[in-house]
Structure 1
Amino acid sequence: MSTSSPPTIPLTKLSPQIFLSDPPDFKPSNKLIILSLFMNAPLRISQKYIAHYRRLAPHTQILVLTSSTSDIILPPNQKGRCQELAPALEVLSASLAAQASTSKATGDSKELSIHIHLFSNGGVYSTTSLLQSYRSATGHALPITSIILDSAPGIPGFVGGMRSFSAMLPRNIIFRSLGQISFLAILSFLWVISCLGFVDSVTAGRRAMNEKGLIGGQPKRVYIYSNEDKMVDWEDVEEHAKEAEENGWEVQMERFEGSGHVDHMRRDEGRYWGIVEGCLGLRA
């Protein structure tokens, strides 16, 4: 007897890298969830996360951000990224407007609740780019309620970089070898320009995540990571978490045992979603 696959959750394409999931009975509310996927993540990866978030927050819009190899390897270009993120800024503006209208009509002064769930350095890049674009457009930081950093942020390096880029290469040994040689050349070039004082996207994103003027409000942040991650070292994650704590943020560190990069949900789904529920205020 065959088992049917779970239904695909429809996503509205706002741009090549931005997608939106509206609940079937969507009404303007004071909640928004942002998923920032890891570099080159296929959209199907988002389906299980969206489905579970939909169960936890059935009436909430979910904004999905993606990133590509070129976003990570090229020097940061905030002006160009602001243009690319315009559709996401429109979603934020609409949510803020709906919240203000609802508050005026009902007298309920609840602020907009924005929860961010990002994955790997690609997710850090997309998230910080969005926050920087919002600040540039409005003159103030976007107020965030909570942030989950899954397998992030890392520190640029040859070993982790090669593993990250190699993950998307074909299995054919010839094409795979050619791809690895190309990536090695790219990583060598990035190392040279970093020695000349240019800041790469991974380092820029790592720094931005602890920049107080970039993140509004007092968001709780949870780091989900693993001692077995071959792409982002657990010690680099904990170092960043401690820096955030020293800067005054409420920090929770959740280290998994035995799970690979962005693979913690599959390793222990119950624990993973329990952490998410706690972050959303759904579990004591």
Structure 2
Amino acid sequence: MAISLANFTKLNQSVSLLESGASKAGSPIALVVLCTWVGARPKHIQKYDERYRQLYPSADIIIIASSIADMSYRSDRAQRDTLKPAREVILSHGGREAVLLHAFSNGGAQCASQLAASLPFSDRQKAFKVIILDSCPGVGSYQRSANAMKLSLPRGGVQQAIGVVLIHITLIVLFFCDRLLGVENAVSATRKRLLKNDVFPLDVPRLYIYSKTDDMVPDVDVHMHAEDARRNGYLDIRETVFDESAHCAHAVKHDSEYWKAVGDVVKAKL
């Protein structure tokens, strides 16, 4: 379901857009694409929306909500159909204006990789000028996947109890398919897609932001991916690692350091 924030226009069930109405001339960033984590609520995303509006007042902002369905049973084609409005906005910039892609957790990373892969090949090579990966990508494990999915459930009551049961049934089926039938799970597929230079060009600066105390996506998972990106030839790979902050809450605990790292990687592409 689309995350509803003030002044945003809902383009479909997952995608919302805020148009600044201002000229993009002279702005280091013309469009910010926020791919949220599963279960993210408006109050969670609002802080990122507000800060990006402060940093780049003339930039438009797209918010794309991720879901359990995207991480489990929805096909690539179905997901890419849902992403069509976001794709059209990105393509309207035609590679001439800087687009920043900011993904959160495995759900957001999966969404971001689907979005990039769904662009025509020639546009993929110039669509994004900066990529930021917050608390991702992880390595899929049963318990961590279950914990992440539970974030999208109502808190307390019968609905949560039923939801937990359904999550475990879904994960049992997915892990059966993965281990015995060779059907790759969404987390593994996302890790690989983020390293494909025909989807994400080698010259696009990439910032990984993560914590040593994240209990959903361990720091070693993210650091290993950053190292893989370097080995694969990506030219500007940065890591901002915090000693203590919760999953997708690094900007809450370390506000100034977080946004300095974002600003620095944006400047690198100017």
Q: Tell me if TM exceeds 0.5.
A: yes
Q: Report how far residue 46 of structure 1 moved.
A: 2.1
Q: Report how far residue 173 of structure 1 moved.
A: 6.0
Given the alignment of the two structures, is residue 212 of structure 1 paired with residue 211 of structure 2, yes or no? no
CA RMSD of aligned residues (A): 2.4
For 1:179 and 1:12, how far apart are their aligned partners in 2? 30
Q: Which has the larger radius of gyration?
A: 1
For 1:194 and 1:217, how far apart are their aligned partners in 2? 30
1:93 corresponding residue in structure 2: 91
Q: Secondary structure at the match of 1:189?
A: helix
Q: Deviations over 1:231-266 (max 9, x none)?
A: 111111111000001112211111111211001011
Q: Report how far residue 221 of structure 1 moved.
A: 0.8
Q: 1:271 aligns with which of 253, 257, 260?
A: 257
Q: 1:79 aligns with which of 67, 77, 80?
A: 77
Q: Report how far residue 146 of structure 1 moved.
A: 1.3
2:148 corresponding residue in structure 1: 164
Q: Secondary structure at the match of 1:129?
A: helix
Q: Percent identity?
A: 28
Q: 1:188 aligns with which of 172, 188, 198?
A: 172
1:227 corresponding residue in structure 2: 212
The 10-residue stretch of structure 1 (179-188 or 189-198) with the greater mean CA deviation from structure 2: 179-188
Q: Report how far residue 126 of structure 1 moved.
A: 1.1
User: Which TM-score applies when normalising by structure 2?
Assistant: 0.88
Given the alignment of the two structures, is residue 254 of structure 1 paired with residue 249 of structure 2, yes or no? no
Contact 1:135 1:214 (C-alpha < 8 Å) held by counterparts = no
- The runs of 5 or more residues in structure 1 that have no matched partner are 1-7, 100-110
For 2:131 and 2:39, how far apart are their aligned partners in 1? 21
Q: Deviations over 1:173-222 (max 9, x none)?
A: 65544432322221111110002111111111111011111013611111
Q: Report how far residue 171 of structure 1 moved.
A: 3.8
Equivalent residue letter for 2:197 = K
Q: Which residues in structure 2 correspond to 1:56-205 (within 5 Å)?
A: 56-74=55-73, 77-96=75-94, 111-135=96-120, 141-172=125-156, 175-195=159-179, 196-205=181-190
Contact 1:223 1:237 (C-alpha < 8 Å) held by counterparts = yes
Q: Secondary structure at the match of 1:64?
A: strand
Residues 31, 239 of structure 1: alpha-carbon distance in 2 compared, 3 angstrom cutoff = same
Matched positions, count: 262
For 1:115 and 1:148, how far apart are their aligned partners in 2? 8
1:34 corresponding residue in structure 2: 33
For 1:46 and 1:260, how far apart are their aligned partners in 2? 15
Q: Deviations over 1:31-72 (max 9, x none)?
A: 221111111322342221111111111111112111111111
For 1:199 and 1:282, how far apart are their aligned partners in 2? 35
Residues 69, 218 of structure 1: alpha-carbon distance in 2 compared, 3 angstrom cutoff = same
User: Which TM-score applies when normalising by structure 1?
Assistant: 0.84
Q: Secondary structure at the match of 2:248?
A: coil
